Amino acid sequence: MKADIVRCEWPGEDRLYVAYHDEEWGVPEYDPRALYEKLVLDGFQAGLSWITILRKRENFRRAFDRFNPEKIARYGRRDVARLLKDEGIIRSRAKIEAAIKGAQAWLDIQEEPGGFTEFIWKHTGGRMIVNQRKPGQPAPTQTKMSEALSKDLKQRGFNFVGPVIVYAFAQAVGMVNDHLTTCFRHAECAKLGKAEH
């Protein structure tokens, strides 16, 4: 853990949270399977804190076949029952069923030109939105972009994708750079956002 650098306030001292902040949050993600995973995990976060999900992420990956949408799309009642008994994850029938329905929608979208990646990233014109937040300035909880993406996802059959969840997802996958301008990751993520993918 880098001790002498300036970060956003939110990871605090938790090693897992700091590693997530320093290595993942705000890094542009274009892999369609990874985008599905992050969207599902953000849906599971609804009503909970992200650190709760982060601590259970490896359990989720094990329980959900490494978030392989082709496999999850075929889950039936037996799989739902298995997941509802799994103490390593969040045992919510509605969220489990939403992950399955989302995998089925993902498969349909993946068949389209540009696939799931284009479906998600077209909402920012394929480029990172780089915000200039100063310490003490809160990040928005939703924007016109997250409202439009939320509406698109719902129309295609996704659940637990309201505009607030979708904005948190957009921050996580680097569609939006909401690191504070004083945070060492702001400039690093902005640079990654300019790279061709």
Q: How do residues 62-112 score in pLDDT, each as one tens digit?
A: 999 999 999 999 999 999 999 999 999 999 999 999 999 999 999 999 999
| CATH number of 165's domain | 1.10.340.30
Contact 31, 114 (CB under 8 A): no
Cα atoms found within 13 Å of the Cα of residue 159, Cβ hemisphere only = 12
How high is the pLDDT of residue 40? 98
Residue 3 within any structural domain of the chain: no
Residue-wise pLDDT for 136-178, tens only, equals 998 899 999 999 999 999 999 999 999 999 999 999 999 999 9
Q: Would you say residue 57 lies in a domain?
A: yes
Contacts of 161 (CB under 8 A, 6+ apart): 39, 43, 150, 153, 154
Residue with tokens 């059959």: 157
Q: Domain count of the chain?
A: 1
Determine, yes or no, domain membership for 7: no
Within-domain flag for 1: no
- pLDDT surpassing 60 at residue 3: no
Is residue 5 assigned to a domain?
no
152, 166 Cβ separation under 8 angstroms:
no
Distance CA 137, CA 170 (A): 18
- What span, in angstroms and rounded, lies between the C-alpha atoms of 189 and 175? 10
Residues paired with 176 in a beta bridge: 129
- For residue 70, what are the domain limits? 15-194
Closest CA to 60 of 38, 81, 75: 38
Span 88-98, pLDDT tens digits: 999 999 999 99
pTM given for the model: 0.95
